[in-house]
């Protein structure tokens, strides 16, 4: 049909969870009629998946894969924690993480449309539909990110609560500091920093915190007030910025100081440059 639009394909995709290519095919075969297109997909063996796509997915797990020059993070959700713990779900979850780290897709949509590594005749999205049919719940790949590793850096990955929280850390200056990076990833999972350093705090957040501090010290002389505001803002930074937080395994030092101590110990300039912290969304 000549009047088929991307909006129609996306709507069918949203209503069924079936891949874009199959949605386009269904709409072409159904002359653009959405209900007939859904019926077409059901007749093609995707009935179970289509029936369940509208259900809310509140439970899930995050998997990672560290393969060659890439680290992948993938979040997959289902309706119940019972299914999330199922071996078939966990196998699917890890296979998707491995696929992402191996193929480095530019988007989640690209990942869904890829043939699986195990079966070239089966796309990732079609594989997802077979898992939906096998487990009887709506299953969604919520998000995906692939991290390109720096050859001169070390990476640490920590998974907490069976994949409910996953943290990744990058430390430049050596590719032999995986233990240090993993310890800090563990810290991130526990302490949930918002920023790496105070330089990353947006101007509007800084302004808000300073206004709150000033409201708490009204009546103080200007010079004293500014020192108090500066002190309160530093305390805020130490709370929300990774480098300023007290290191969970040794609260006598900050994370920044802990890295500096290790740097001095190994005789290399180590720098904590990036971190990722994912929780089930």
**pLDDT, tens digit, 9 for 90 and up, residues 228-281:** 989 999 999 999 999 999 999 999 999 999 999 999 999 999 999 999 999 998
Residue 197 lies in a domain: no
Q: Of 98-112, 132-146, 147-161, which gets the smallest average pLDDT? A: 132-146
Which CATH number is 33's domain given?
1.10.8.10
pTM as predicted: 0.79
Please say if the pLDDT value at position 1 is more than 90.
Answer: no
pLDDT band of residue 47 (cuts 50, 70, 90) is very low
Average pLDDT, the chain: 91
**Do 80 and 17 fall within a single domain?**
no
Class of residue 11 by CB neighbours under 10 A (exposed 0-12, middle 13-18, buried 19+): middle
Q: What is the pLDDT of residues 196-222, one digit of tens each?
A: 999 999 999 999 888 888 888 887 888
**Do 30 and 108 have their domain in common?**
no
Mean of pLDDT values over 51-64: 79
* C-alpha to C-alpha distance for 233 and 238, rounded to whole angstroms: 9
For residues 19 and 50, is the Cβ–Cβ distance under 8 A? Answer: no
Show the domain range for 74. 55-149
Answer yes or no: is 274 within a domain: no
Widest pairwise Cα distance in the chain: 77
Give the number of domains in the chain.
2
Tell me: do 84 and 41 sit in the same domain: no
Say how far apart CA 155 and CA 153 lie, in whole Å: 7
CB 250 within 8 A of CB 257: no
Q: Could you tell me the two tokens for 183? A: 């310890």
One domain, residues 80 and 97: yes
Using CA atoms, how far apart are residues 7 and 142, in angstroms rounded to an integer?
20
Cα 84 → chain centroid: 17
Phi, psi (deg, nearest 5) at residue 177 = -115, 40
Query: If you average pLDDT over residues 124-133, what whole number do you get?
Result: 92
b/e burial code for range 87-113 (CB count within 10 A of at least 16 → b): eebbebbbbbbbbbbbbbbeebeebbb
50 — pLDDT class (breaks 50, 70, 90):
low
pLDDT tens per residue across span 91-114: 999 999 999 999 999 999 999 999
- Residue 15: the pLDDT is 72
Same domain, 22 and 80: no
pLDDT (average), residues 59-70 = 97
Average pLDDT over residues 37-48: 68
Are 138 and 63 members of one domain? Answer: yes
The answer to whether residues 44 and 71 belong to one domain is no
CATH number at residue 82: 3.30.479.20
C-alpha 171/C-alpha 99 separation (Å) is 25
Predicted local confidence at residue 10, as pLDDT? 84
Instruction: Check if the beta carbon of residue 138 is closer than 8 Å to that of residue 132.
Output: yes
What is the C-alpha to C-alpha distance for residues 101 and 201, in angstroms, rounded to an integer? 30
Q: Would you say residue 13 lies in a domain?
A: yes
Same domain, 21 and 74: no
**Same domain, yes or no, for 42 and 68?**
no
Quick one: 42 and 83 in the same domain?
no
Q: Average pLDDT, stretch 23-27?
A: 88
Examine residue 249 and state whether it is found in any structural domain, yes or no.
no
**Residue 97 lies inside a defined structural domain of this protein:** yes
| Distance in angstroms (rounded) separating the CA atoms of residues 44 and 46 | 6
Work out the pLDDT band at 157, boundaries 50, 70, 90.
Answer: very high
Report if residue 128 sits inside a domain: yes
Q: Give the dihedral of Cα atoms 35, 18, 50, 140; nearest 10 deg.
A: -140
Residues 74 and 120 both lie in one domain: yes
Tally Cβ neighbours within 10 Å of residue 197: 14
Q: Please tell me whether residues 76 and 111 are part of one structural domain.
A: yes
- Domain boundary, last residue among 149, 165, 181: 149
Using the 3D structure, point to which of 98, 131, 149 is the last residue of a domain: 149
CA-wise closest residue to 196 among 261, 244, 252: 244
End position of a domain, from candidates 132, 149, 166: 149
Name the DSSP class of 270: -
> How confident is the model at residue 49, as a pLDDT?
55
- Does residue 115 fall inside a structural domain? yes
pLDDT, residue 34, reads 84
pLDDT at 54: 58
High-pLDDT (> 70) share of the chain, % = 94
For residue 182, being part of any structural domain is answered with no
Strand, coil or helix: 236: helix
Q: Which residue has the higher pLDDT, 81 or 11?
A: 81
Per-residue pLDDT at 11:
82
């Amino acid at each position: 049909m000549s009047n088929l639009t991307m909006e129609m394909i996306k709507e069918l995709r949203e209503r069924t969870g079936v891949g874009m290519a199959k949605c386009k095919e269904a709409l072409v075969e159904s002359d653009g009629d959405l209900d007939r297109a859904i019926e077409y997909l059901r007749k093609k063996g995707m009935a179970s998946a289509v029936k369940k796509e509208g259900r809310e997915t509140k439970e899930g797990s995050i998997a990672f894969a560290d393969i060659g020059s890439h680290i992948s993070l993938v979040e997959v959700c289902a309706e119940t924690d019972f299914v999330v713990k199922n071996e078939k779900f966990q196998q699917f979850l890890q296979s998707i993480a491995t696929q992402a780290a191996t193929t480095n897709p530019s988007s989640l949509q690209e990942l869904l449309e890829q043939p699986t590594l195990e079966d070239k005749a089966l796309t990732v999205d079609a594989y997802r539909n077979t898992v939906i049919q096998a487990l009887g719940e709506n299953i969604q790949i919520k998000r995906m990110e692939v991290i390109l590793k720096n050859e001169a850096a070390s990476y640490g990955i920590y998974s907490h609560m069976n994949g409910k929280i996953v943290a990744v850390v990058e430390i430049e200056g050596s590719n032999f500091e995986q233990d240090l990076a993993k310890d800090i990833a563990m810290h991130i999972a526990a302490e949930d920093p918002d920023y790496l350093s105070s330089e990353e705090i947006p101007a509007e957040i800084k302004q808000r915190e300073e206004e709150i501090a000033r409201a708490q010290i009204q009546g103080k002389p200007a010079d004293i007030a500014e020192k108090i505001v500066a002190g309160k803002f530093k305390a805020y930074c130490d709370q929300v910025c990774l480098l300023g937080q007290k290191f969970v395994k040794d609260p006598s030092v900050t994370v920044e100081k802990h890295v500096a101590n290790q740097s001095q110990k190994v005789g290399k300039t180590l720098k904590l440059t990036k971190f990722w912290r994912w929780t089930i969304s």
